Amino acid sequence: MGNIWTITRHTLAESVRQKTAMFLVIVLCVLVLAMPFTARGDNSLSGAVQSFLSYSLTITGFLLSCVTIFLSKTISDDLTGKQILMLMTKPIARWQYVVGKWLGIVLLNVIVLTLVGCVIYAMTIYLAGHRRGWYVATGVAIALAVFICYTLIRNLRPVQFSLTRWITVGVLCAIVVALLGGAVVGLNRYQSTLKPRDDYDRDRLDNQILQARHAAKFKAPWDVIRAQANAEFDKGVEQGKYTGETNAPAVKAQLFDGMKRRWRSVWPLESRVFEFEDVRTDRSPESRIYISYRLRVFRYPPDEILRCVWVVGDRSKGATEYRIPRRDVIDRRHTMPVPADAVAPDGTLTAAFVNVNPWVEAGEEQADNVVVFEGDDAIEALFSVSSFGTNLIRALALVVCRLAFLAAIAVMLTTVFSFPVACLVALTAYFVAATPSFMADAIDWMPDEGVISWFSAALNNVLWAVHAILLPKFTAYDGVSTLVEGRNVTLMWVIMAFGRLVLIQTTVLLLAACLLFRKREVSQVSF
């Protein structure tokens, strides 16, 4: 371990001297600090916070991925500069050299991601109007100023004493301090202008976005419906509707699908009851849970507004019942706050949707609309299980797992190829792993005729094999959208990402890198 740590510290020191990588890190920090002034979203305070989180985390992941690939140049520099020959004379095995290089890149990513994560947290709390956000931002700005000044001094200091060079370094450091100081003062003044648009905007920000909420799925009665479909089939057999030549499984499946679609559809004056289990909340009337739902409406009224009633809570189970009339724009996802005492003592929640216009007595007409709940996520019960800070840490942990895997790819390629080739291949691998949907859609757009259709099918098979064996889909380990929506980035998700990306695939890549580097003649270098 001592030899590995020596290589790791050497890699960290070399990384700081990598001007391209450090430039990207500084650009990243400046962008994250400046983004709160430009993020607007839907012109609401909650929308501005969501836009800032989405853009800042996406840019962070992209730029640190580029930094990770560029930092693998330290191996190429050791080979082309012949420093590797000196290292080989010391009691350092080649596998220790490879692992140390990878660990150094990962550690630098963790350090930078920790700094940027603190900035993102501070700016988020700052945008939300909390004073502690400005205090944290000030501390982060001081740390950033120290880091940038240290980097400038380390890279620009003269080998021999030069007054002009030291004056230049001092001026640059003063500019950095002045800019960050001005940013802190500007943040203090700008925060006074941040106001929520209304009470709903403040509630959405504090209780929906800056939370880690678990989404409970409704308990679907598919077993009961399947039994009804089987009974309907048996009844048809008795009536002679089906003969011995009838494909019984296919007919039963068809009946089941039809009954399931009918259950998901709510006709005028009908109701549908949804039950949720294991809703963990304190059941205080002052606390809130949220019902999130998306309705598909047919035969909707001209104003495209669905008028309906939700009845939440089951008195027979000891819960408080709430009748909530709603006016909802069709074909959009809506979130409805409900007092937490609507949850029963056994942790169950009952929510009934009634397709009736509650304002008929006020002169409005009952619309002849049909409401369909499509998909298992058509309705969810959301309740808080953790804080925003903890959720952000878990989302950043997913970023670290992706960067560790990408660092292993870059290190393996650099041990075999020259840096330009390794960099190009690593960037291609990153693009394929980060944009699987784009790649699949691009292939599907190819004309479905002649040789092109055969080529398109072959590309689809190759892309499937690449994702199944070599490159994971980074979108499966991206918690940005989950964090932005205020949903819980689960610890199990992080563990699964660590297990697959780091323990399995990264280990395989490092083993391959060690074997390839062991066979390489280090005195012969490809520029």
**pLDDT tens string 407-427:** 999 999 988 888 888 889 899
Query: Do 189 and 122 form a contact (C-beta atoms < 8 A)?
Result: no
Phi and psi (nearest 5°) for 375?
A: 90, 155
Indicate the helix (H) or strand (E) that contains 236.
helix 222-238
Q: Could you tell me which residues come within 8 angstroms of residue 127 by beta carbon, excluding any fewer than 6 positions away?
A: 36, 39, 45, 48, 49, 52, 133, 194
- Phi-psi category of 318—alpha, beta or left, where left has phi over 0 and alpha has psi -120 to 50? left
Across 25-39, 187-201, 347-361, least confident range: 187-201
Spatial separation of the C-alpha atoms in residues 117 and 451, rounded to whole Å: 49
Q: How many alpha carbons lie under 13 Å from residue 157 in its C-beta half-sphere? A: 8
More confident residue, 27 or 96: 96
Q: How high does pLDDT run on average in the chain?
A: 83
Q: Name the 3-class secondary structure at 298.
A: strand
**pLDDT tens string 351-364:** 999 999 999 888 88
pLDDT of residue 102: 92
Distance separating the N- and C-terminal Cα atoms of the chain: 31
What does each C-alpha distance from 233 to 224, 225, 230, 242, 249 come to in angstroms? 14, 12, 5, 8, 10
Q: What is the DSSP string of 49-81?
A: HHHHHHHHHHHHHHHHHHHHHHHTHHHHHHHHT
Confidence (pTM): 0.83
Q: Is the pLDDT of residue 159 over 60?
A: no
Phi and psi (nearest 5°) for 350?
A: -115, 130
The H helix count followed by the E strand count for the chain is 18, 11
pLDDT of residue 11: 82
Confidence band, pLDDT 50/70/90 cuts, at residue 41: low
Spatial separation of the C-alpha atoms in residues 435 and 475, rounded to whole Å: 8
Confidence band, pLDDT 50/70/90 cuts, at residue 464: low
49-63, 155-169, 453-467: which has the highest mean pLDDT? Answer: 49-63
Confidence band, pLDDT 50/70/90 cuts, at residue 24: confident
Query: Do 486 and 211 form a contact (C-beta atoms < 8 A)?
Result: yes
In the chain, the largest separation of any two C-alpha atoms, in whole Å, equals 104
Mean pLDDT of the 479-490 span = 92
Query: Do 220 and 376 form a contact (C-beta atoms < 8 A)?
Result: yes
Across 142-151, 457-466, 493-502, least confident range: 457-466
Give me 400's structure tokens.
Answer: 């670290």
Q: Is the pLDDT of residue 70 over 50?
A: yes
Sheet containing 370-372: order of strands: 265-266, 370-372, 296-298
Q: What is the DSSP string of 83-131?
A: HHHHHHTSS--HHHHHHHHHHHHHHHHHHHHHHHHHHHHHHHHHHTT-H
Q: Is the pLDDT of residue 527 over 50?
A: no
Query: Do 341 and 331 form a contact (C-beta atoms < 8 A)?
Result: no
**pLDDT tens string 161-191:** 567 767 777 787 788 778 777 777 776 666 6
**pLDDT tens string 261-306:** 999 999 999 999 999 998 988 888 888 999 999 989 998 888 889 9
User: Which amino acid makes up residue 457?
Assistant: A
**pLDDT tens string 331-345:** 889 999 999 999 999
Q: What is the DSSP string of 170-194?
A: HHHHHHHHHHHHHHHHHHHHHHTT-
Q: How many alpha carbons lie under 13 Å from residue 274 in its C-beta half-sphere? A: 24
Indicate the helix (H) or strand (E) that contains 386.
strand 379-387
Q: Would the CA dihedral through 333, 339, 340, 344 be positive or negative?
A: negative
Spatial separation of the C-alpha atoms in residues 167 and 175, rounded to whole Å: 12
Q: How many alpha carbons lie under 13 Å from residue 482 in its C-beta half-sphere? A: 22
| In the block, residue with structure tokens 């932005």 | 484
Phi and psi (nearest 5°) for 377?
A: -100, 15
Confidence band, pLDDT 50/70/90 cuts, at residue 395: very high
Query: Do 101 and 75 form a contact (C-beta atoms < 8 A)?
Result: yes
Phi and psi (nearest 5°) for 483?
A: -65, -45
Q: Could you tell me which residues come within 8 angstroms of residue 525 by beta carbon, excluding any fewer than 6 positions away?
A: 79, 80, 418
Give me 451's structure tokens.
Answer: 């040789």
Mean pLDDT of the 494-522 span = 88
pLDDT of residue 321: 94
Sheet containing 379-387: order of strands: 211-217, 379-387, 288-294, 333-339
Mean pLDDT of the 211-225 span = 91
Query: Do 371 and 274 form a contact (C-beta atoms < 8 A)?
Result: no
Q: Is the pLDDT of residue 236 over 50?
A: yes
Spatial separation of the C-alpha atoms in residues 388 and 121, rounded to whole Å: 9
Confidence band, pLDDT 50/70/90 cuts, at residue 447: low
Spatial separation of the C-alpha atoms in residues 326 and 174, rounded to whole Å: 58
User: Which amino acid makes up residue 182?
Assistant: G
pLDDT of residue 275: 94
Of 120, 388, 378, 177, the residue nearest 274 (C-alpha):
378
Give me 321's structure tokens.
Answer: 């019942």
Q: Is the pLDDT of residue 525 over 60?
A: no
Mean pLDDT of the 236-261 span = 84
**pLDDT tens string 105-139:** 999 999 889 988 888 888 888 777 776 666 766 77
More confident residue, 227 or 178: 227
More confident residue, 448 or 330: 330
